Amino acid sequence: MTDHALVLFSGGQDSATCLAWALERFPQVETIGFDYGQRHRVELEVRAAFRDRVAGENPRWAPRLGPDHLLTLDALREVSDTALTRETEITMQANGLPSTFVPGRNLLFLTFAAALAYRRGLRHLVAGMCETDYSGYPDCRDDTLKALQVAINLGMDRRFVLHTPLMWRDKKATWELAERLGGAPLVEAIRTETHSCYLGDRSTLHPWGFGCGACPACELRRRGWEAYAPPHA
């Protein structure tokens, strides 16, 4: 296995920041995305533009950015009934979890990512899960991801290392990390080229990025940006 990395890159703010984090640390970085029929599929359409912009604006990162992989996981949509896989209202459910929670999503994503990393000889898996932002999402919690790393390593007889750089960072700290990694150009690329809105709305560019401005993902991103309050904004 090489000391190279595979980043789970959805096209959103968190995974984009993680991509920059990985490019700063590893000699070669590949990316993987998943099309599972998500309601906000536009996030997949912005991935290439962000990759190109990061490589174009940072000559040190450009030679480190390897190929991108996009996998189709239609079965995830078929087995789930959520606000991210159906045209339904975003609500809080009786079990205390938001209707945007897709059961098993991150477990599947990391398992498929590890399978690809196994074939390509990549050791490091980098993902943007964050317990601080999504405390209601069980598959974003630190304990879940530590257990999954153990299971993947045992099941594949490899020693993958799972990195979650944002685990204990809120959105304000995520913007700050982006600025430390790539300065104002990276912050601007994340602001304008990534997508987090659950409804897939890219009709309006707000100070914090594109989105409907009302869904939980937009609200979270907006609050983080306002707390970050960069002097160059």
Question: What residue segments make up the domains of the chain, in order of their start?
Answer: 2-196
Contact assessment for residue 13 and residue 209, using Cβ atoms and an 8 Å cutoff: yes
What does the pLDDT read at residue 29?
Answer: 98
Residues 198-218, mean pLDDT to the nearest whole number:
94
**pLDDT over threshold 60, residue 233:** no
- Sign of the Cα torsion 45, 37, 160, 17 reads positive
Q: How far apart are CA 136 and CA 134, in angstroms?
A: 5
What does the pLDDT read at residue 131?
Answer: 83
Residues 111-138, mean pLDDT to the nearest whole number:
90
Question: At residue 35, what is the residue type?
Answer: D
CATH 3.40.50.620 fits domain 2-196: yes
**With the CA atoms of 171, 177, 181 and 182 taken in that order, what torsion angle do they form, in degrees rounded to the nearest 10?**
40
For residue 132, which of 193, 10, 223, 1 has the smallest C-alpha distance?
223
Mean per-residue pLDDT over the chain, rounded: 90
Q: Where residue 90 falls among pLDDT bands split at 50, 70, 90?
A: low
**pLDDT over threshold 80, residue 129:** yes
**pLDDT over threshold 90, residue 86:** no
Q: How far apart are CA 206 and CA 131, in angstroms?
A: 26
* Portion of the chain with pLDDT greater than 70, in percent: 89
CA angle 100, 106, 112 (to 5 degrees): 140
- Name the DSSP class of 138: G
